[in-house]
């Protein structure tokens, strides 16, 4: 039966000269002070740099803002956790007893952090050229399915740009209500347009920011529907 660490190294297409580095990268802070946090820090910087370089090549006409949005869509917790699952990191992450009992090996934040830590370990073990090759190979499926950068803008930004393009005043956001206990607050927010009395849309969410985004998305959808009517 193949050793789990050997299997991981096969998936990475990198054989560690110092396997202790890989073991450290897979050690969550719940185990104690010899954990993967420093390697995660290194891996985070490595991934951001390598993906920035890849995007610079793939999208030669894209402006800085578009490249930043694309990178953020790739180097985010959900994307990193997905790639960690592809490597089956959950089966080899070393967790403290409390995290193990709570199913920490399935938690996206733990998977994403371990993924970055493993890449940091690859860099220390094999150097930049090796680490860059590993990062680009692992991210290849995501890079091949890049969305349009415009679609990555948040609803408030898209609504603002839609209005500015038509020389219309900016929207107003008003908190109508805030209820619930401290650990489960609910916000009710209205987004309205100063020059359109029938534009007000209300959204509820667990944070003011999310409620504003949802309300803005509804207003924008309404305006776009009017345009196409």
Give me the active site residues, please.
44, 116
Phi, psi (degrees; rounded to nearest 5) at 166: -110, 15
Do 163 and 170 touch, CB atoms closer than 8 A? yes
Residue ranges of the annotated binding site are 40, 113, 116
112 to each of 104, 176, 184, 197, how far by Cα in Å? 12, 36, 25, 45
For residue 186, give the H/E element and its range: strand 186-193
Do 116 and 43 touch, CB atoms closer than 8 A? yes
Residue ranges of the annotated binding site for Mg(2+) are 40, 113, 116
Provide the sign of the torsion angle of the four alpha carbons 156, 157, 162, 166, taken in this order.
Answer: positive
Other CB atoms within 10 A of residue 162 CB: 16
64-74 and 128-143 helices cross at what angle (nearest 10)?
90
155, β-bridge pairs: none
Which residue is associated with the tokens 């109508």?
176
Do 75 and 152 touch, CB atoms closer than 8 A? no
204, β-bridge pairs: 188
């Amino acid at each position: 039966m193949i050793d789990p660490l050997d299997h991981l190294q096969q998936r990475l297409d990198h054989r560690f000269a110092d396997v202790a580095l890989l073991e450290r990268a897979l050690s969550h802070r719940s185990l104690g002070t010899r954990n993967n946090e420093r390697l995660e820090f290194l891996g985070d910087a490595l991934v951001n740099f390598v993906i920035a370089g890849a995007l610079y090549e793939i999208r030669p006409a894209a402006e800085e803002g578009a490249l930043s949005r694309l990178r953020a869509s790739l180097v985010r917790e959900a994307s990193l956790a997905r790639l960690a699952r592809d490597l089956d990191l959950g089966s080899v992450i070393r967790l403290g007893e409390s995290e193990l009992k709570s199913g920490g090996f399935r938690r996206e934040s733990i998977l994403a952090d371990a993924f970055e830590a493993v890449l940091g370990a690859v860099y220390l073990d094999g150097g930049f050229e090796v680490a860059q090759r590993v990062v680009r190979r692992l991210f290849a499926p995501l890079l091949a399915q890049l969305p349009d950068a415009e679609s990555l803008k948040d609803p408030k930004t898209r609504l603002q740009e839609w209005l500015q393009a038509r020389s219309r005043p900016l929207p107003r956001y008003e908190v109508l209500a805030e209820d619930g206990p401290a650990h489960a607050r609910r916000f009710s927010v209205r987004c309205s347009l100063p020059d359109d009395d029938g534009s007000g849309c209300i959204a509820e969410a667990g944070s003011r920011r999310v409620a504003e985004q949802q309300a803005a998305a509804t207003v924008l959808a309404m305006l776009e529907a009017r345009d196409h009517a």
